[in-house]
Structure 1
């Protein structure tokens, strides 16, 4: 309307762009905002492999590497001299570390060398600290529920097949539409998969209903996201949305007027006085009293209810997997290893007794 000279001033805040500056004149900026992602908050969930979370992946890898090093340290001296290398000593030296890690007993024999006792003592001290730390962190994690917020950056939109909502005619949509490379172009190409929903400004009042279904995410200026979050908090008293951390497309917003209109610079001076005195921020908080109520809402909270089977069934799954693996090993031993160890029955025709396997007193080796 300002371009058609039907209006002198456009009262709404518009993002300054090069294309728009060729059609209208902008006043001094009122605010600076950024495009962010708004989506519905997930419900509290329990991780299936929560019992692995007390230790990071690097720590688990370090434990496995320490086990291998410990076995090599305990076995290498025995391998130097064939006279001291026996099957029982090899098994004792290499698998005592596993027994200590699993908090099982370790036999104390007179054949232990002093250096073996020192190495085993150091390993016991390390596993003591490790197991106590693990058990303490595990108890804390089992008492905490996590609210997932998967959409923190634009890259997360590719990991989850949600529909992306954009507002027609905005500078933010134009930035994605005109992108020739990078993440913005990849997101705009998702329209070929019908994952881009373009809505008009008049439809923004109903967008929150679509977002609450959990199948969509919206890209818009964070000031409009905050208003949606504040309105929903005022109605329900709960924070139903999550705002992404990453910020994109800086938007300098101002009012617009006719080209070469004397009203634009005059109004610009008043806007500078308004923003510097803090009136704009005051008006926002006045009309949206809960504007910042959900900006730092917690994503973790403690529970006091008893643990259910759904909270720890990952441990039972691991136990079942261990049972299955042990039965498979038992089957292999019965079917393949036992027949190779000798003749189970003297009357078996398949057995051929080797005379060299007996001494002079007819006792087998």
Structure 2
């Protein structure tokens, strides 16, 4: 009886391993991106992100900057992001590094066009940005803005 239980247990475990197909795991952190040697990064040139990466002395930001030397960074202007997202990122071998607000807009725009949600945002947030309103000193709307 014990032998039959062990045999059934082994065969069902083997069958389940053979039946499950491999599903690639999404990249959620910079470290996962750096370790994935076949993935190419798309960024906009001359931004706060690229400046921060270039001025980093060590750590993951420096490693991300060093991907340029390996040919794993592709600079594109934000106007080409919708096309890059729909073609290069959709293929699975490119990632887009941009602001969270811009990523939301790009993903929602493609969702409206296709009716499918094919993209995700990584869980790691690595740069904070604050938004503000700038008005002329002494403008009558300063008090209204300050009140809010």
Instruction: Give the corresponding residue for 2:47.
Output: 170
Q: Is the 8 A contact 2:135 2:142 kept in 1?
A: no
Question: Bigger CA drift: 209-218 or 179-188?
Answer: 209-218
Taking a change above 3 Å as real, the CA distance of residues 162 and 224 of structure 1, as seen in their structure-2 partners, is same
If the length of structure 2 is used for normalisation, what is the TM-score? 0.75
- How far did 1:157 drift? 1.5
Mapped to 1, the partners of 2:22 and 2:100 lie a distance apart of: 24
Mapped to 2, the partners of 1:196 and 1:257 lie a distance apart of: 37
Q: Is the 8 A contact 2:54 2:65 kept in 1?
A: yes
3-state secondary structure, aligned to 2:117: coil
Mapped to 1, the partners of 2:74 and 2:46 lie a distance apart of: 13
**Over aligned residue pairs, what C-alpha RMSD do you find?**
3.4
Q: Is the 8 A contact 2:67 2:73 kept in 1?
A: yes
Mapped to 1, the partners of 2:39 and 2:89 lie a distance apart of: 10
- How far did 1:229 drift? 1.3
Instruction: Give the corresponding residue for 1:228.
Output: 106
3-state secondary structure, aligned to 1:241: coil
Taking a change above 3 Å as real, the CA distance of residues 264 and 207 of structure 1, as seen in their structure-2 partners, is farther
- How far did 1:164 drift? 0.6
Instruction: Give the corresponding residue for 2:67.
Output: 190
- How far did 1:245 drift? 1.4
Instruction: Give the corresponding residue for 1:207.
Output: 84
- How far did 1:190 drift? 0.9
Mapped to 2, the partners of 1:241 and 1:264 lie a distance apart of: 44
Taking a change above 3 Å as real, the CA distance of residues 219 and 235 of structure 1, as seen in their structure-2 partners, is same
Instruction: Give the corresponding residue for 1:159.
Output: 35
Report the structure number with the largest CA radius of gyration: 1
- How far did 1:183 drift? 0.5
User: Which gives a bigger RCO, structure 1 or 2 (Cα 8 Å, sep 6+)?
Assistant: 1
**Going by fraction, where is strand more abundant, 1 or 2?**
1
**1:114-151 deviations in whole A, cap 9, x for unaligned?**
xxxxxxxxxx8xx69x939x948x66x94x76753431
- How far did 1:204 drift? 2.9
- How far did 1:189 drift? 0.7
Question: Bigger CA drift: 153-162 or 179-188?
Answer: 153-162
Instruction: Give the corresponding residue for 1:342.
Output: none
Taking a change above 3 Å as real, the CA distance of residues 271 and 163 of structure 1, as seen in their structure-2 partners, is farther
Taking a change above 3 Å as real, the CA distance of residues 264 and 204 of structure 1, as seen in their structure-2 partners, is farther
3-state secondary structure, aligned to 1:243: coil
Q: Quick one: which of 119, 127, 132 aligns to 1:249?
A: 127
Name stretches of at least 5 consecutive residues in structure 2 with no aligned partner.
none
Q: Is the 8 A contact 1:151 1:244 kept in 2?
A: yes
- Report 1:1-365 matches (<5 A): 100=2, 103-104=3-4, 131=9, 135=12, 142=19, 147-160=23-36, 161-208=38-85, 209-256=87-134, 261-263=137-139, 266=142, 269-270=144-145, 273=148
Name stretches of at least 5 consecutive residues in structure 1 with no aligned partner.
1-98, 105-123, 274-365
3-state secondary structure, aligned to 2:110: helix
